């Protein structure tokens, strides 16, 4: 890493275009690769849809009579 820093500083002092172009290119390609990897991961993830749960009547309540039932409701005169 120290050698790379020395080469970079030497390139800057020599006013070389490549001293800035190569690190910038590596950084841009790294950002593009990360974006591709994240997009690929999102695209290829497999999830199972949640199963539909059927509502069940609470165990404490009795079944209500249907509207056509001949049984009168209690509590109503």
> pLDDT of 16-27, one tens digit each?
888 889 899 999
For residue 23, being part of any structural domain is answered with yes
Residue 67 lies in a domain: no
Does 57 map to a domain?
A: no
In a domain, 65, yes or no: no
d(CA 8, CA 59): 76
Q: Classify residue 19 by burial, with Cβ atoms within 10 Å: 0-12, 13-18, 19+.
A: middle
Cβ atoms 73, 65 nearer than 8 A: yes
Domain membership of residue 32 (yes or no) is yes
Overall number of domains in the chain: 1
Task: Name which residue leads in pLDDT, 2 or 62.
Answer: 2
pLDDT attached to residue 75: 60
- Residue 3 domain-assigned? no
Asked whether the whole model's pTM tops 0.75, one would answer no
Query: Which residues form the domain of 27?
Result: 18-44
């Amino acid at each position: 890493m120290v050698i790379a820093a020395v080469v970079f500083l030497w390139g800057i002092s020599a006013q070389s275009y490549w001293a800035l172009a190569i690190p910038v290119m590596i950084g841009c390609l790294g950002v593009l690769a990360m974006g591709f990897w994240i997009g690929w991961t999102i695209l290829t993830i497999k999830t199972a849809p949640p199963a539909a749960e059927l509502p069940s009547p609470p165990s404490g309540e009795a079944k209500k009579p249907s509207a056509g039932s001949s049984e009168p409701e209690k509590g109503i005169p």
